[in-house]
Amino acid sequence: MDALEALTHDHRMVEQLFRDYHAAASDRQRRGVVELLVRELSKHAALEELMIYPLAKKVLDDAVEEIDDHLQEHLAVKRTLLALDKLSEGDARTDDLVARLRQEVTEHVREEEEEFMPRLREAVPQQDLDELGQLLAKARQSAPTRPHPLAPEEPPALALAAPVAAAYDRFRDRLQRRPRT
């Protein structure tokens, strides 16, 4: 998959996780889905911030404001993810936070897929997108798995903070026996 196909695949996976949440038969199953949402959306946001948005700033003349908007959307998602991550199984606030997260993610995905990604696909040669897709797949293995709303959003500070956050996240994931993806 090229980079944009990989990101679109992530979007479809998250949409399925929202459906799984609503189909879950118990608080335990819903909590498992929440943990997967936290993990997958945290990784996805970090990869976009580290690899996709900097590329877009270089190749799209008028992308700075658009990317700043995407970063603000990411921040809102990270804050919601952090609130969800702090809840325990069966917490009554979970449904409302998942609904808010779904709304935030749905709008962000729509903007990316209908506006941002087509412009980026037009501006970047297919071979570069293919290579970036391979780099994204590799980077996914070491991306942060928890939200870090106070972390830097852009390189070079993000490039320094992300590996430290990812190592800490993975350690916490193992201690808490969180699902791996």
| 160-174: pLDDT as tens digits | 455 545 554 554 566
Assign residue 90 a region (left: φ > 0; alpha: ψ between -120 and 50; beta: otherwise).
left
Residue 30: which region, alpha, beta or left (left: phi > 0; alpha: psi -120 to 50)?
alpha
Closest CA to 147 of 94, 101, 83: 83
User: Which of 57-71, 86-100, 161-175 has the highest average model confidence (pLDDT)?
Assistant: 86-100
pTM, entire model:
0.84
Taking residues 90-111, what's their average pLDDT? Answer: 97
The least confident of 14-28, 41-55, 106-120, 146-160 is 146-160
Q: Tell me, what's the pLDDT at 169?
A: 59
Place of tokens 């709304």: 103
Q: What is the pLDDT of residue 146?
A: 79
84 vs 59: CA distance, rounded Å: 36
Task: Determine the structural domain holding residue 14 and report its residue range.
Answer: 3-175
pLDDT at 174: 63
Q: How many whole angstroms separate alpha carbon 47 and alpha carbon 86?
A: 23
Does residue 87 form part of some domain? yes
Please state, in angstroms and rounded to a whole number, the distance separating the CA atoms of residues 79 and 105.
12
Q: Is the residue at 180 inside a domain?
A: no
Q: Give the count of domains, the chain.
A: 1
User: Under a CB-based contact definition with an 8 Å cutoff, are residues 45 and 149 in contact?
Assistant: no
User: pLDDT (tens digit, 9 = 90+) per residue, 40-60?
Assistant: 999 999 999 989 999 999 999
Tell me if 153 is assigned to some domain: yes
Span of 18-27, 60-69, 137-146, 163-172 with lowest mean pLDDT: 163-172
Q: What angle do CA 169, 11, 134 make, to 5 degrees?
A: 70
Residue pair 133/6 in contact by the 8 Å Cβ criterion: yes
User: What mean pLDDT do residues 78-93 have?
Assistant: 95
Distance CA 156, CA 162 (A): 10
